[in-house]
């Protein structure tokens, strides 16, 4: 009975922490554009994000822009638990970009995130073979890998954020919004 107030306090603190938006926006690089129109910032962001990949989602009502996954080259430095066994192993990597444009009074701000993912499908299938207590497979190949498409056998994990590209995109948005200084004599 004495711990009831403590439990209530703990529950209240937990609920208050869940309502915080800091965790959601901390996964993005954020830049404020003072006295900028939402439509102008959205158009500049779409133009800048198109350099990272093909824009597949464009929703001006919510301010969301997202690219289709774009394949990128594995330079051999991607972290992998199986890399010591096969140093020449390369991965299928892809980059996905997301921008959220939000209006706040007369200002607009941009949240930008570029994520690099790797396909763990092959490693997952290799390590996930269930052979039971015997050395013989417990399932047929059709039962084990039964998918309607190869895409269903893909398993993508996030490797890192491409913070350099995020900064370049935010810089490009700012350049798209500022008037050209080249026309002045």
Per-residue pLDDT tens over the stretch 13-27: 555 555 433 335 568
Q: How confident is the model at residue 51 (pLDDT cuts 50, 70, 90)?
A: confident
Domains and CATH numbers, the chain: 22-118+160-178 (3.30.530), 121-154 (no CATH)
| Per-residue pLDDT tens digits for 64-111 | 999 999 888 766 555 554 555 555 555 678 899 999 999 999 999 999
Percent of the chain with pLDDT strictly greater than 90: 39
Rg (C-alpha) for the chain, rounded Å, is 23
At residue 154 the predicted structure's pLDDT band, cuts being 50, 70 and 90, is: confident
pLDDT mean over 18-39: 73
* Averaged pLDDT for residues 127-154: 61
Token output for 45: 């962001």
Distance of CA 118 to the CA centre of its chain: 12
DSSP-derived 3-state class of residue 67:
strand
pTM equals 0.67
Helices (H), 28-162: 38-49, 121-127, 141-144
Mean pLDDT score of the chain: 75
Q: What was the pLDDT predicted at 183?
A: 41
pLDDT digits (tens, 9 = 90+) for 113-123: 999 888 876 66
Q: Which is more confident, 182 or 36? A: 36
The answer to whether 54 and 70 are in contact (CB under 8 A) is yes
Give the pLDDT of residue 20.
39
């Amino acid at each position: 009975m004495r711990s009831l107030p403590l439990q209530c306090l703990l529950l209240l603190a937990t609920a208050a922490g869940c309502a915080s938006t800091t965790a959601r926006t901390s996964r993005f690089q954020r830049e404020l554009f003072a006295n900028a129109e939402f439509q102008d910032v959205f158009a500049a962001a779409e133009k800048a994000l198109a350099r990272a990949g093909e824009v597949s989602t464009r929703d001006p009502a919510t301010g969301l822009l997202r690219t289709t996954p774009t394949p990128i080259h594995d330079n051999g430095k991607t972290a992998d638990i199986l890399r010591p066994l096969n140093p020449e192993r390369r991965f299928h990597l892809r980059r996905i970009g997301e921008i959220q444009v939000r209006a706040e009074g007369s200002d607009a701000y941009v949240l930008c995130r570029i994520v690099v993912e790797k396909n763990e499908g092959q490693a997952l299938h290799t390590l996930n073979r269930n052979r039971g207590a015997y050395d013989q497979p417990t399932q047929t190949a059709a039962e084990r890998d039964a998918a309607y498409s190869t895409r269903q056998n893909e398993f993508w994990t996030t490797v890192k954020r491409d913070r350099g590209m995020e900064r370049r995109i935010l810089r490009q948005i700012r350049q798209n919004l500022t008037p050209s200084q080249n026309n002045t004599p």
